[in-house]
Amino acid sequence: AQSVTQLGSHVSVSEGALVLLRCNYSSSVPPYLFWYVQYPNQGLQLLLKYTTGATLVKGINGFEAEFKKSETSFHLTKPSAHMSDAAEYFCAVIVGGYNKLIFGAGTRLAVHP
Amino acid sequence: EPEVTQTPSHQVTQMGQEVILRCVPISNHLYFYWYRQILGQKVEFLVSFYNNEISEKSEIFDDQFSVERPDGSNFTLKIRSTKLEDSAMYFCASNLAGGLNEQFFGPGTRLTVL
pLDDT in tens, A37-85: 998 878 889 999 998 888 999 999 999 999 999 999 999 999 999 999 9
Q: How far is B100 from chain A (nearest CA, A)?
A: 6
Amino acid type, B46: L
Please, what is the average pLDDT of chain B?
A: 93
Nearest to B108 among A36, A43, A106 (CB): A43
Rounded CA-CA distance B17/B82 in Å is 6
pLDDT 10s digits, B29-72? 999 999 999 988 889 999 999 989 999 999 999 999 999 998 87
Q: How far is B18 from chain A (nearest CA, A)?
A: 24
Contacts of B104 in chain A (CB under 8 A): 43, 46
Q: How far is A90 from chain B (nearest CA, A)?
A: 9
- Own/partner contacts of A106-109, CB < 8 Å, gap of 24 or more, are A106/A6, A106/A9, A106/A38, A106/B42, A106/B43, A107/A6, A107/A8, A107/A9, A107/A10, A107/A11, A107/A21, A107/A22, A108/A9, A108/A10, A108/A11, A109/A11, A109/A12, A109/A13, A109/A19, A109/A21, A109/A81, A109/A85
Let me know how many helices (H) and strands (E) chain B has, helices first: 0, 11
Contacts of A41 in chain B (CB under 8 A): 107
Residue in A with minimal Cα distance to B58: A100
pLDDT at A96 over 80: no
Q: What is the pLDDT of residue A97?
A: 62
